[in-house]
Amino acid sequence: NAGVMQNPRHLVRRRGQEARLRCSPMKGHSHVYWYRQLPEEGLKFMVYLQKENIIDESGMPKERFSAEFPKEGPSILRIQQVVRGDSAAYFCASSPGIGGENEQFFGPGTRLTVL
Partner 1 sequence: DQQVKQNSPSLSVQEGRISILNCDYTNSMFDYFLWYKKYPAEGPTFLISISSIKDKNEDGRFTVFLNKSAKHLSLHIVPSQPGDSAVYFCAAPFGNEKLTFGTGTRLTIIP
Residues 70-99 that bind partner 1 (CB under 8 A): 91, 93, 95, 98
Look at strands 110-114 and 10-13 and give their pairing: parallel
**Residue 37 to residue 35: CA distance in whole angstroms:** 7
Ramachandran angles phi, psi of 20, nearest 5° = -120, 125
**Judging by beta carbons within 10 Å of its beta carbon (0-12, 13-18, 19+), is residue 36 exposed, middle or buried?**
buried
Min separation Cβ 41 and partner 1, Å: 6
Q: Which of residues 15-54 bind partner 1 (CB under 8 A)?
A: 31, 33, 35, 40-45, 48
One of 55, 73, 83, 115 touching partner 1 (CB under 8 A): 55
Under the criterion CB under 8 A, does residue 104 sit at the interface with partner 1? yes
- Reduced to 3 states (helix: H, G, I; strand: E, B; else coil), residue 85 is helix
- Return residues touching partner 1 (CB under 8 A): 4, 6, 31, 33, 35, 40-45, 48, 55-56, 59, 91, 93, 95, 98, 101-109, 111
